[in-house]
């Protein structure tokens, strides 16, 4: 684990991404000037408190933002497809983008209870991407779906394929949605808090499964979570978001051992110990040991958004948004006092 990414060309290069929502009472910037790179076989964890823009980032890559409300305002998302050509997904026409979805980039969502269609069988829903993208005949796609169910560890897959979502447990359903995402052998898997809705033992099983599948397929993975324990377990690199901006990124081991942004330090301090997760889930707690509140995107403080909660904050922090400083070659921090930050 935590191996430094291989030297191969990136499959995904997000550059200066800015996503806005036009709402009553003004425009908010949910993702601001975000850079992120993912290489084949690499898992990048996107972490941050609720509302920091993690889901919006994933949906921007997929171009699945709520139409009319949300739109990518700036930046590029260069993606290297199965055929090796690199294209900017931001400017891709809708039909080509549709062919990317579920085929080159697949997605697993947070809620296994609601992300499967209640009126179609599991087998039907898993075979759909193959029918849509590869024109696989129905029977053949069904057999492939059964094989996929077996691959994600569902016992008695042939019977399960014929069942409806409500006949499966939460963990089973999440395995089924993972099988669905893998149907077309994607280059990149985006998982938006895939284990958050599950209880701890199931959570661990699903993480293990996703790791194993990634090793087998060599796909890249963008793993969205607000749980640093999960990050430590699954990711090679981590990117921390705060109020729509990336504030620190780097290899997991390095960031965990040597965090260079006060917010990351706070997150790590509030990281639940083993076994705490259940307690916290029961009590409805989240990572909240940092004093103060996440600022509203509607009126962000000037300069560094974290400054009002930060014990290191000085006037310069409030004057301008700090640039991403290079701590080392692949470790960055958006803090002007990163050298002074103590873990």
| Nearest distance in Å: CB 54, ligand ADP | 3
Helix (H, G, I), strand (E, B) or coil at 328: strand
Rg for the chain, CA atoms, rounded: 20
Residue 231 in contact with residue 224, Cβ under 8 Å?
A: no
Task: Quote the DSSP letter at residue 101.
Answer: B
Q: Could you tell me where the DSSP H helices lie in the chain?
A: 54-62, 94-100, 122-134, 138-151, 157-161, 170-182, 200-217, 228-234, 252-257, 262-269, 276-283, 315-319
Residue among 253, 242, 226, 245 nearest 310 (CA) = 242
Chain positions contacting ligand ADP, by CB under 6 A: 21, 23, 28, 30, 48, 50-56, 66, 69-70, 297
Toward ligand ADP, which CB reaches closer, 43 or 103?
43
When asked if residue 62 is in the footprint of other proteins (CB under 8 A), the reply is yes
Applying CB under 8 A, among 15, 35, 111, 233 the residue interacting with other proteins is 111
Residue range at the interface with other proteins (CB under 8 A); choices 41-49, 109-117, 209-217, 293-301:
109-117
- State the Cα–Cα distance between residues 250 and 270, nearest whole angstrom: 20
**Sites for other proteins among residues 144-183 (CB under 8 A):** 164, 166, 177, 180
- State the Cα–Cα distance between residues 79 and 12, nearest whole angstrom: 5
Toward other proteins, which CB reaches closer, 53 or 102?
102
Residue among 7, 77, 6 nearest 36 (CA) = 77
The alpha carbon of 54 is separated from its chain's Cα centroid by a whole number of angstroms, namely: 6
Residue 63 in contact with residue 234, Cβ under 8 Å?
A: no
Tokens of 149: 């169910």
Site size toward other proteins (CB under 8 A) is: 26
Among other proteins, ligand ADP, Mg ion, none, residue 30 binds (CB under 5-8 Å by kind)? ligand ADP
What x-and-dash track marks residues 180-219 binding other proteins by CB under 8 A?
Answer: x---------------------------------------
| Nearest distance in Å: CB 192, ligand ADP | 7
Among Mg ion, other proteins, ligand ADP, none, residue 106 binds (CB under 5-8 Å by kind)? other proteins
Strands 86-88 and 325-328: unpaired
Toward Mg ion, which CB reaches closer, 50 or 91?
50
Toward Mg ion, which CB reaches closer, 55 or 121?
55
**Sites for Mg ion among residues 40-69 (CB under 5 A):** 55
Strands 105-108 and 188-192: parallel
304: Cβ contacts below 8 Å, ≥ 6 apart: 310, 313, 317, 318, 321, 322, 334, 335, 336
- State the Cα–Cα distance between residues 92 and 1, nearest whole angstrom: 35
Among Mg ion, ligand ADP, other proteins, none, residue 302 binds (CB under 5-8 Å by kind)? none
What x-and-dash track marks residues 75-104 binding other proteins by CB under 8 A?
Answer: -----------------------xxxxxx-
Toward ligand ADP, which CB reaches closer, 59 or 336?
59
Toward other proteins, which CB reaches closer, 21 or 338?
21
Q: Where do contacts with other proteins occur on this chain (CB under 8 A)? A: 62, 64, 98-103, 106-107, 109, 111, 114-119, 128-129, 132-133, 164, 166, 177, 180
List of residues contacting Mg ion (CB under 5 A):
55
């Amino acid at each position: 684990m935590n191996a430094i990414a291989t030297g191969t060309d990136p499959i995904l290069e997000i550059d200066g991404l800015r996503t806005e929502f036009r709402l009553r009472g003004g425009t908010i910037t949910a993702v601001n000037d975000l850079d992120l790179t993912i290489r084949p076989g690499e898992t990048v964890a996107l972490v941050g408190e609720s509302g920091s823009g993690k889901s919006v980032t994933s949906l921007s890559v997929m171009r699945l933002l709520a139409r009319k409300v949300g739109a990518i305002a700036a930046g590029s998302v260069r993606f290297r497809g199965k055929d090796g050509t690199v294209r900017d997904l931001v400017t891709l026409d809708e039909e080509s983008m549709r062919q990317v979805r579920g085929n080159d980039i697949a997605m697993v969502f947070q809620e296994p209870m609601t992300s499967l269609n209640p009126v179609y069988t599991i087998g039907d829903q898993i075979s759909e991407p193959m029918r849509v993208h590869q024109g696989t005949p129905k029977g053949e796609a069904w057999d492939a779906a059964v094989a996929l169910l077996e691959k994600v560890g569902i016992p008695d897959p042939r019977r399960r394929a014929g069942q409806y979502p409500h006949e499966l447990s939460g963990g089973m359903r999440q395995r089924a949605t993972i099988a669905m995402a893998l149907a077309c052998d994607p280059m990149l898997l985006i998982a938006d808090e895939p284990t958050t809705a599950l209880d701890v033992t199931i959570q661990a099983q699903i993480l293990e499964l996703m790791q194993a599948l990634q090793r087998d397929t060599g796909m890249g993975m963008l793993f969205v979570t607000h749980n640093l324990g999960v990050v430590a377990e699954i990711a090679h690199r981590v990117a921390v978001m705060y109020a729509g901006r990336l504030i620190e990124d780097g290899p997991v081991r390095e960031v965990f051992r040597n965090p260079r942004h006060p917010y990351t330090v706070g997150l790590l301090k509030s990281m639940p110990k083993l076994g705490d997760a259940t307690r916290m889930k029961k009590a409805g707690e989240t990572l909240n040991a940092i004093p103060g509140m996440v600022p509203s995107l509607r009126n962000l403080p000037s300069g560094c958004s974290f400054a009002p909660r930060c014990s290191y904050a000085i006037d310069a922090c409030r004057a301008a948004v700090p640039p991403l400083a290079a701590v080392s070659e692949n470790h960055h921090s958006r803090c002007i006092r990163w050298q002074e930050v103590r873990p």
